[in-house]
């Protein structure tokens, strides 16, 4: 992942750690730090008549979500699939019949080729750009929440997790 691609993903992950990004009372996603970053990427893509920035944010954030899922699962003595199953059960207990979109993305990456999550995001973008932006924000929120859980429950400093993610994203980008 080139620096031009890598930096915005890490910036989004850092913004996802801001408590303001987890507000549920925001009238618009643009009120959230993560929302402002995604909106800026969308505007820049529109100006360039492309979707490169959003595509790279989606791919990088999906990879971070996959890595964080694997880490949380390992710390809980579970497989990533078991953790995702537990998340599905919790969602159903709260009245959601469908798996959460974040769970769908991470599960698709686990069960298919590594870029399957990006493919799912791409199909979402083609179907409904608003849903795509919402899913990108949900992925960022999931990553931020996961990093905070690692810190609070497992005493892993946020900066260590961010550095691990940065290293993993750099390695992934170098292979892509």
pLDDT, tens digit, 9 for 90 and up, residues 49-59: 988 888 889 98
- The pTM (predicted TM-score) of the whole model is 0.91
Span 84-135, pLDDT tens digits: 999 989 888 888 888 788 999 999 888 877 666 667 887 888 888 888 899 9
pLDDT band at 174; cut points 50, 70, 90: confident
Counting the structural domains of the chain, the total is 1
Residue 84's domain comprises 3-175
Q: Which residue in 91, 25, 83, 63 sits closest to 173, CA to CA?
A: 63
Q: How far apart are CA 108 and CA 147, in angstroms?
A: 21
pLDDT band at 4; cut points 50, 70, 90: very low
Taking residues 20-46, report their average pLDDT.
91
């Amino acid at each position: 992942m080139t620096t031009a691609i890598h930096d915005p993903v890490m910036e989004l992950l850092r913004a996802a750690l801001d408590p303001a990004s987890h507000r549920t009372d925001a009238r618009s996603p643009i009120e959230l730090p993560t929302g402002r970053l995604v909106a800026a990427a969308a505007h820049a893509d529109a100006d360039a008549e492309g979707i490169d920035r959003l595509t790279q944010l989606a791919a990088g954030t999906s990879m971070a979500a996959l890595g964080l899922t694997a880490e949380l699962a390992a710390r809980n003595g579970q497989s990533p699939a078991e953790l995702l199953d537990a998340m599905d059960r919790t969602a159903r207990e709260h009245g959601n019949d469908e798996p959460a979109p974040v769970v769908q993305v991470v599960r698709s990456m686990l069960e298919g080729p590594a870029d399957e999550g990006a493919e799912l995001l791409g199909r979402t973008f083609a179907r409904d750009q608003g849903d795509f932006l919402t899913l990108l924000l949900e992925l960022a929120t999931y990553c931020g929440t996961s990093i905070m859980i690692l810190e609070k429950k497992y005493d892993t400093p946020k900066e260590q997790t961010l550095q691990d993610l940065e290293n993993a994203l750099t390695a992934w980008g170098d292979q892509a």
